[in-house]
Amino acid sequence: GAVVSQHPSWVICKSGTSVKIECRSLDFQATTMFWYRQFPKQSLMLMATSNEGSKATYEQGVEKDKFLINHASLTLSTLTVTSAHPEDSSFYICSARRLAGEITDTQYFGPGTRLTVL
């Protein structure tokens, strides 16, 4: 149990276009999902917290108009990178916190999406 999927697994786009990444919890409900960014050979940096039915909260330094997050249901959150530029190229990872049955802060991670902006 506790499987999280991401789609697509990798994407290449032209500079100036927008890219949408989906994060789904496949076998549980998640009121909270998180989006991370990981540069090569580096650690994960939390970008934003996605809350079902409400606005996402962004970490300091993350442009909310650049990285649009929508959490429309208890199993789906999307991250849209708007007007992408080469510096947005990165590995984007989502995680989900189970709605019930967890007494700790355990998060279940998706496999990640590799974004390359040309």
**Contact set with other proteins (CB under 8 A):** 4, 32, 34, 42-46, 49, 93, 95, 97, 103-112
The distance of closest approach from Cβ of residue 85 to other proteins in the complex, given in angstroms and rounded to an integer, is 25
Q: How far, in Å, are 44, 58, 78, 118 from residue 69 at the CA level? A: 18, 10, 6, 23
Cβ closest to other proteins, residue 22 vs residue 82: 22
Could you give the maximum distance between any two Cα atoms of the chain, in Å? 43
End-to-end CA distance of the chain: 37
CB of 109 to other proteins, least distance (A): 4
Q: Which residue, 39 or 72, is less far from other proteins as judged by CB?
A: 39
Shortest Cβ distance from residue 32 to other proteins (Å)?
6
Q: Which is nearer to other proteins, 49 or 80 (CB)?
A: 49
Concatenate the DSSP letters of all residues of 12-75 into one string: EE-TT--EEEEEEESSS--SEEEEEEE-TTS-EEEEEEEETTS--EE-TT--TTTEEEEEEETT
Which is closer to other proteins, CB of 66 or CB of 109?
109
- For the bound state, the minimum distance from the C-beta of residue 75 to other proteins, rounded and expressed in Å, comes to 17
